[in-house]
Amino acid sequence: MVKQVYVHVSNKPGRVYAVMQTLSDANVNARSLFVADTGDVGIIRLIVDAPEKAVAALKSANFKVNTSDLIGFTVPDEPGGLCNVMHLLGENGVNIKYSYSLMNRGQGADIVIRVEDNDKAIDILTAAGVKMFTQKDIV
């Protein structure tokens, strides 16, 4: 599993910067950033090298912050690489709530997904030989 840190912020200029500056000041490395506009409130989703440290720093800066578990896997950098994995999950009834990619670690594209049943998705992907990664690999 990969621990995602997510922050709810007002949807106005400078809020993403404020979150990123807080992490930088805490010496936390952001490996991925996803920003969603939901009207007056924005959601910033992050994969970082030190989730617990990130949460503590963000809470100290008065941000509303939570965490959730995502599934991480690597797909080959070739046509159909991601399509094949999405087919496996869809064919087996796993619904993907959202997905985003991480900075390349030199091994193809790293993807994280949020699904309803983590254990089921992990079993399917592992059985198919998909290269998985966890939080300890996010350094």
Q: What is the pLDDT of residue 105?
A: 58
Q: What is the pLDDT of residue 38?
A: 84
- Distance CA(98)–CA(95), nearest Å, equals 9
Global confidence as pTM: 0.82
Question: Tokens at residue 17, please?
Answer: 């910067």
- Distance CA(99)–CA(70), nearest Å, equals 9
Contact present, 4 and 45 (Cβ < 8 Å): yes
Q: 36: helix, coil or strand? A: strand
Rounded to an integer, the average pLDDT of 74-89 is 91
